[in-house]
Amino acid sequence: MDLTTLMGFATVLAIAFLALQSGGVPAAFLNFHGVMIVGGGVGAAMLINTPLSYLVDAVQSLGVLLGGGRYQNRATIIAAVVSLAEQVQARGQTAFQ
């Protein structure tokens, strides 16, 4: 997550908080039908514009990400990445060759 993503989340929260504090109705922000229309439209647009192979790859990647899968020993992976980063820092781009 980069700085602009955090700024976006903070802005949304601030706008919602200010709207509720100024006498807004909480039900207006939790409108189930509106969520279904927006979510359904986004889902339909994604299905129309994305090849099926990309969607299958995304679902499989999400399963690996959430389930751990073959990457159970994260400490070993982190140590390897740190080692590679140190090599690149010491030798520059030649560390990749």
83 domain-assigned: yes
The per-residue pLDDT for range 13-57, each reduced to its tens digit, is 888 888 778 776 666 666 778 778 988 999 899 889 889 999 899
Report whether 20 contacts 29 (CB < 8 A): yes
92 domain-assigned: yes
21 domain-assigned: no
> Which domain does 38 fall in, by range?
30-96
20 domain-assigned: no
The torsion angle over the Cα atoms of residues 52, 53, 54 and 59, rounded to 10 degrees, is 90
What average pLDDT is seen over the chain?
A: 82
Task: Please name the residues in contact with 29: beta carbons below 8 A apart, sequence gap of 6 or more.
Answer: 16, 19, 20
Total domain count, the chain: 1
Quote the percentage of the chain above a pLDDT of 70: 86
87 domain-assigned: yes
The torsion angle over the Cα atoms of residues 81, 85, 91 and 94, rounded to 10 degrees, is 60
Query: Whole-angstrom Cα distance, residue 7 to residue 11?
Result: 6
Long-range contacts of 88-97 (CB under 8 A, 24+ apart): none
24 domain-assigned: no
Displacement of CA 9 from its chain's centroid (Å): 12
39 domain-assigned: yes
In the chain, the N- to C-terminal Cα span, in Å, equals: 30
44 domain-assigned: yes
